[in-house]
Amino acid sequence: MINPELVHYRSETGDLIPVRVYERLLSPYTENVVFFGYGEDGEHLAIKFSPKADREWEALQKTTQYGIDSPRPYAIINNNGCSLCRSLYGDKGIIMKKVEGINLYQAEDNSYKMLLGKIIRSMHERIPVIGEEWGEQGYDISYYISLLDKLEIPVKETEVARLLLKGFIDTVEGRNKQINPRFVHHDLHDDQVRLTPSKRLAIIDFEDWIEGNPLDDIAIYLFHNLRTKQPEANFVDFVKGYTGGHRFADDDNSVIGFYLLLTGLQMVDHFSRFTPQDLHYSLRYLDRCTNFIREERLWKIN
């Protein structure tokens, strides 16, 4: 908590928006700073400064328009120099409605995992994307092949994961040539989901969204289930909700396996670059992913 301060934010349209700010939250492992406050009408607001503010603003416009429960965006703003709210990483932010509730890790009722799967499937099907990024930035297989060559990762400790991943490349390339890209959250885990007091699920933190293969979201959700050592049943229920109780095809599981291992390798790369003292944690998470694939558990559970 901080001493409350009345701040007038200036929107990009020139309007001054008064917010009584009472709390600051520094987001670990990101460059974001979030403030909480109240608007003139008493509405609970979040003010998020981020280098990716424009990106998230675009996403929240889409999720709001197409009925996906998420923070309602009110204004994209420029920091006006307030000492309380100055961000070290960027002067652009979003004023949005604060989503009340607990994160999904804290929810005891496992049926919410199935509900989340249904919501993510709905998001993938309902929100249209143009597809320019999918082609121009290579979110088909070419992007990922070049990305692998740029990762700063220990060679020996990641050898098995890299070999397994490369074994999936042909399948992923073939599948990605056949599909239309979807709106993908690209950082999906239970801390990005809020169970509201009205028992609805809201998705937050869309700053990393991409035009991509929707199975990328399934893989990243699986990665974080393995990372946090959640019961396997949690992922099974999520998949049941997503598929309507059907099984993924074998090729789908290969695509999920590819994105799962890629996510693990990217986390190793991040730790290697920015927090090398904690590199062993990311290698441990990658090992869980590698074992999950080697034991063919993905193919056995769905």
Q: What is the DSSP string of 22-83?
A: EEEEEPTTSS-EEEEEE-TT--EEEEEE-TTHHHHHHHHHHHHHTT---PPEEEEEE----T
Q: What is the mean pLDDT of residues 282-290?
A: 98
Q: Burial, 51: exposed, middle or buried (Cβ in 10 Å; 0-12, 13-18, 19+)?
A: middle
C-beta of residue 186 within 8 angstroms of C-beta of residue 210: yes
Higher-pLDDT residue of 95, 143: 95
Q: Cα separation of 87 and 222, whole Å? A: 32
The pTM of the full predicted model, rounded to 2 decimals, is 0.93
Residue 237 binned pLDDT confidence (cut-offs 50, 70, 90): very high
Q: Report which of residues 280 and 51 the model is more confident about.
A: 280
Band of the pLDDT at 17, cuts 50, 70, 90?
Answer: confident
Residue 158 has pLDDT above 70, yes or no: yes
Find the mean pLDDT for residues 88-106. 87
- Domain spans of the chain, in order of start: 5-98, 104-301
Q: Give the CATH number of domain 104-301; options: 2.60.40.10, 2.40.160.40, 3.90.1200.10, 3.30.70.3190.
A: 3.90.1200.10
Is 75 in contact with 95 (CB distance < 8 Å)? yes
User: Which residue type is seen at 127?
Assistant: I
**What's the CA gap between 82 and 97, in Å, rounded?**
21
User: CATH 3.20.20.60: does it fit domain 5-98?
Assistant: no
- How far, in Å, CA of 302 to CA of 223, rounded? 16
